[in-house]
Amino acid sequence: MQIEFFKYQGTGNDFVILDNRRQSFDKNDTKLIAKLCDRKFGIGADGLILLENHPSCDFKMVYYNSDGRESSMCGNGGRCLVAFAKLLGIIDQNANFEAIDGFHQAYIENDLIHLKMQDVASVENYTNHVFLDTGSPHHVTLVKDLKSFDVVRTGSSIRRGAPYFEKGTNVNFVEQVDTDIFSVRTYERGVENETLSCGTGVTAVALAMHHMKKSSEAVRLLTPGGELKVVFKKTTKGYEDIYLIGPACMVFKGTYLC
């Protein structure tokens, strides 16, 4: 069995992407998915994405974490899949697709992918953090000296701790750099490690900082893998017209020999 694959990255968040419009890939083979994502025995990635046909949209997105399990929405993965759809000739500059959290719109401008995220109705306040769902659950907390902060140790302890437990959450650590500019490091569930960037994570951080009255409605997020931007509107219903903006690049393509 041979699998043609494409490797993409969006600010260092990397993905194995497969064209599954012919339904040739076994989506129930979690061991194979994990092996493809393995950085020693496979291609190596934070996750795997399938592009599939959709009856009314341009395509469907199916996303798996590197542990082989289908997961919630991945913002950087969605941006990479839009770039892949353009490569395949499925779209030109605009896209409509369905992901696990619903329908998304996106457009490409000046080589940046603008991905519209789902509306967020509420942000939950706690003593030392806030919690919100931007297609994936996110714990957001402000810290000092983010550069030397132990993201893996602290993130892993919060990830399955109360009240998250087995379902877990992604954990974002944030430090303000300047007006509307924040540095972010994220511990991702399913990857069980820090990733260089997390799209739903920086989206959660941008909304959280606005909720905490620390930013405007346009926020720059500096991750270890690069810079992203999130713009949005605050309304009486919550946060709407949320766009995650950043680059998405094909790194290489090849054939995996099972």
Q: Which pLDDT does position 149 carry in this prediction? A: 97
The pLDDT value given to residue 243: 98
Burial (CB count within 10 angstroms: exposed 0-12, middle 13-18, buried 19+), residue 31: exposed
Active-site residue, from 37, 74, 80, 249 = 74
Which stretches of the chain score pLDDT less than 70?
none
Compute the C-alpha angle 64/61/131, nearest 5°: 65
| Count of other CB atoms within 10 angstroms of residue 107 | 16
198 catalytic, yes or no?
Answer: yes
The pLDDT assigned to 60 comes to: 98
For tokens 């913002």, what's the residue? 75
Helices marked H in the chain — which ranges?
30-37, 75-88, 151-159, 199-211
Q: How far apart are CA 227 and CA 193, in angstroms?
A: 20
Interval 191-241: pLDDT, tens? 999 999 999 999 999 999 999 999 999 999 999 999 999 999 999 999 999
Of 37, 198, 249, 258, the catalytic one is 198
pLDDT at residue 76, as a whole number: 98
What are the structural domains of the chain?
2-107+248-257 (3.10.310.10), 124-246 (3.10.310.10)
Q: Is 80 a catalytic residue?
A: no
The pLDDT of residue 242? 98
Res 160: pLDDT: 82
Q: SS3 helix, strand, coil % of the chain, rounded to 5?
A: 20, 45, 35
